[in-house]
Amino acid sequence: MFEVLLSPDELEIQARTREFVKTEIDPQFLRDLDQEVLDFPHGFHEKVGAAGLLGVRFPKEWGGQGLSWTAEVGVIEEIGRLGIVLGCQHAMPSIVGHALVEFGTDEQRERFLRPMLAGKLVSAEALTEPRGGSDFFGATTIARRDGDEWVLSGAKRFIVGAEGADFFLVYAKTAPDNAPHESLSVFLVERERGVKVEHIFGLMGARGGGTGRISFHDVRIPAANLVGPVNGGAEIFDQMMIPERMTSAAGILGGAQAAIDVAAEYSMKRKAFGQPIRKFQAISHSLADSVTKLDAARGLLWAAARTVDAGLPHRRIVSEAKKFSTETAWEVVNNAMQIMGGIGYTDVYPIERILRDTRLSMIWTGTSEIMSNLIQHEYYRELGDVKPTRRDVEADALNAAAAAEKVFE
């Protein structure tokens, strides 16, 4: 139905990903992750990397496919059918890679980006702290300069890959006395430098991703591992929020589509009162509402992707896409469970797992409330009722520059 919006290249890679999802991943692997028989999806990265499906919008020079954001959204949606944990592992190179492509040095790209896009190095991002995630700029993890090194101290919470990742992209205060938006820097921290896993969380869904609390006790990092300028973390954060939110939105739509597909199949076979349940208008209209809402969310998301591709101001549309896709997915998966009746609540079908997974999407990578804050801010800014902050102006300039330089082509 959306073919009309995509170019031949975008359609081709989406079709290739659909085939990869069908043929390369054993459904038992997904069950083992959910039941925590496996504590991390080791092996997945190499498979998806070898298939050329990681960070497809990045330049070919570094192992990407030189495609568009729109192409990547199509890929992520297909991978999202595999569940939120594999979706997240697929998204992580896209998120961490964004910082490296835009702000890293060639040496960092060689050491981290290239092997990450080949699926040979596993990344994690460490933003959230025990003291809070929404109030990101209030971070208290500290890095102080000591000769040719930085010395890192603090703790990060809810880090996917706390168990399992090879390296972490860490935000830390390098100028605690500066204004919050001028106080943070970004570091690449390899696990073996002394990252300590303090706790692995038991989770409602998204299981098997090694999500935990990590700490740094005077961890020494070479100066060459600083990404971007000292105290330039806010700019990197602003840019990283594009892939954070686009990947969350795209992945969860894939999961919701999988759920509604299962429910639709079931509704054709399951009989009640002598006829397939799809013949009851209550069921078929619920399905109609679900597919309509999914298509509306997908349309918004692809419009967001095209907006980013064009280098146009995107903060509002990306936030809208994240909020609307994740909330729609939650509603759709809930409908799918209702269509299935009691069996949907059991582990005979994957609906209950998808429902548990989907709940997270409204919380991570910026909660729905934070998305609403951003959407209204941008909307009033467009109406001239909010004075643009210096960060607003800088973010717009950076987007325009990225478009002009065709960074991702």
Ligand X SMILES: Cc1cc2nc3c(=O)[nH]c(=O)nc-3n(C[C@H](O)[C@H](O)[C@H](O)COP(=O)(O)OP(=O)(O)OC[C@H]3O[C@@H](n4cnc5c(N)ncnc54)[C@H](O)[C@@H]3O)c2cc1C
Q: For the CB of residue 397, give the shortest distance to ligand X in the complex, in Å.
A: 26
Binding mask 178-217 toward ligand X (x if CB under 6 A, else -) reads -------------------------x--x----x------
Closer residue to ligand X, CB minimum distance, 132 or 222: 132
Closer residue to ligand X, CB minimum distance, 159 or 294: 159
Binding part of the chain for ligand X, among 17-25, 99-107, 365-373, 382-390 by CB under 6 A, reads 365-373
In whole angstroms, what is the distance from residue 130 CA to residue 142 CA?
Answer: 14
Contact 101, 59 (CB under 8 A): yes
In whole angstroms, what is the distance from residue 72 CA to residue 297 CA?
Answer: 16
Spatial CA neighbour of 161 closest among 104, 88, 220, 112: 88
CB atoms within 10 A of CB 249: 32
132 contacts ligand X (rule: CB under 6 A): yes
Closer residue to ligand X, CB minimum distance, 159 or 236: 159
Binding part of the chain for ligand X, among 96-104, 156-164, 274-282, 283-291 by CB under 6 A, reads 156-164
CA 28 from chain centre, in angstroms, equals 23
58 contacts ligand X (rule: CB under 6 A): no
Contact 136, 127 (CB under 8 A): yes
Binding part of the chain for ligand X, among 35-43, 54-62, 63-71, 358-366 by CB under 6 A, reads 358-366
Q: Which residues pair with 272 in a beta bridge?
A: 275
In whole angstroms, what is the distance from residue 209 CA to residue 89 CA?
Answer: 8
Report the residue from 55, 64, 133, 350 that binds ligand X according to the rule CB under 6 A: 133
159 contacts ligand X (rule: CB under 6 A): yes
In a 3-state reduction of DSSP, which class is residue 122?
Answer: coil
Binding mask 369-398 toward ligand X (x if CB under 6 A, else -) reads xx--x-------------------------
Q: Show the tokens assigned to 278.
A: 């799809």
In whole angstroms, what is the distance from residue 408 CA to residue 102 CA?
Answer: 9
Binding part of the chain for ligand X, among 128-136, 233-241, 255-263, 290-298 by CB under 6 A, reads 128-136
Contact 210, 41 (CB under 8 A): no
Report the residue from 77, 125, 327, 378 that binds ligand X according to the rule CB under 6 A: 125
Binding part of the chain for ligand X, among 15-23, 32-40, 120-128, 250-258 by CB under 6 A, reads 120-128
360 contacts ligand X (rule: CB under 6 A): yes
Contacts of 391 (CB under 8 A, 6+ apart): 181, 234, 238
Q: For the CB of residue 319, give the shortest distance to ligand X in the complex, in Å.
A: 13
Give me the sign of the Cα torsion angle 113, 116, 117, 118: positive
Q: Is beta strand 149-159 parallel, antiparallel or unpaired with respect to 142-146? A: antiparallel
Spatial CA neighbour of 2 closest among 299, 251, 260: 299
Q: For the CB of residue 301, give the shortest distance to ligand X in the complex, in Å.
A: 19
Binding part of the chain for ligand X, among 26-34, 213-221, 361-369, 394-402 by CB under 6 A, reads 361-369
Q: For the CB of residue 253, give the shortest distance to ligand X in the complex, in Å.
A: 19
Burial letters 289-325, b for 16+ CB under 10 A, else e: ebeebbeebbebbbbbbbbbbebebbbbbbbbbbbbb
Report the residue from 168, 302, 364, 408 that binds ligand X according to the rule CB under 6 A: 364
Closer residue to ligand X, CB minimum distance, 302 or 364: 364
In whole angstroms, what is the distance from residue 144 CA to residue 218 CA?
Answer: 9
Backbone φ and ψ for 341, nearest 5 degrees, come out as 65, -150
127 contacts ligand X (rule: CB under 6 A): yes
Q: For the CB of residue 140, give the shortest distance to ligand X in the complex, in Å.
A: 13
Closer residue to ligand X, CB minimum distance, 127 or 294: 127
In whole angstroms, what is the distance from residue 56 CA to residue 71 CA?
Answer: 7
Closer residue to ligand X, CB minimum distance, 75 or 206: 206
Residue nearest to ligand X (CB): 133
Q: Residues in the site for ligand X, rule: CB under 6 A?
A: 125-128, 132-134, 158-160, 203, 206, 211, 360, 363-365, 367, 369-370, 373
